[in-house]
Amino acid sequence: MAMQQQQPGQSGQQGMMMEPPQVLSTKDQLYLSDMLNWNLIAAKKANFYAGQCTNSDIKSECQRVAQMHEQHYQTFLSQLQQHSQQGG
């Protein structure tokens, strides 16, 4: 049984990344681009549904979901921009 070395930025036995790697592969960039698009679409849909709601509780929840996806979108966008500025 081979032992796996823990990569910098990882924690625990699950190998979850606590911070993005310094170098992103083309596959990583494509995945981040997909995530960017998925979150943008989800935010737009949630905003649309919020505008259609008459129930204030549901409207509020749709707005919260839209805001969450917008924050995720900004996070992915900043990672892509940071990587492109580093010349990766």
Domain coordinates in residue numbering, the chain: 23-85
**Residues 79/35, Cβ–Cβ less than 8 Å:** no
Q: Which residue has the tokens 């492109």?
A: 84
Task: Report the greatest alpha carbon distance in the chain.
Answer: 59
β 10-11/16-17 pair status? antiparallel
Mean of pLDDT over the chain: 82
Return the minimum-mean-pLDDT range out of 4-13, 21-30, 66-75: 4-13
Kindly state the percentage of the chain with pLDDT values over 70.
78
Indicate the pTM of the whole model.
Answer: 0.67
Contacts of residue 68, Cβ cutoff 8 Å, sequence gap at least 6: none
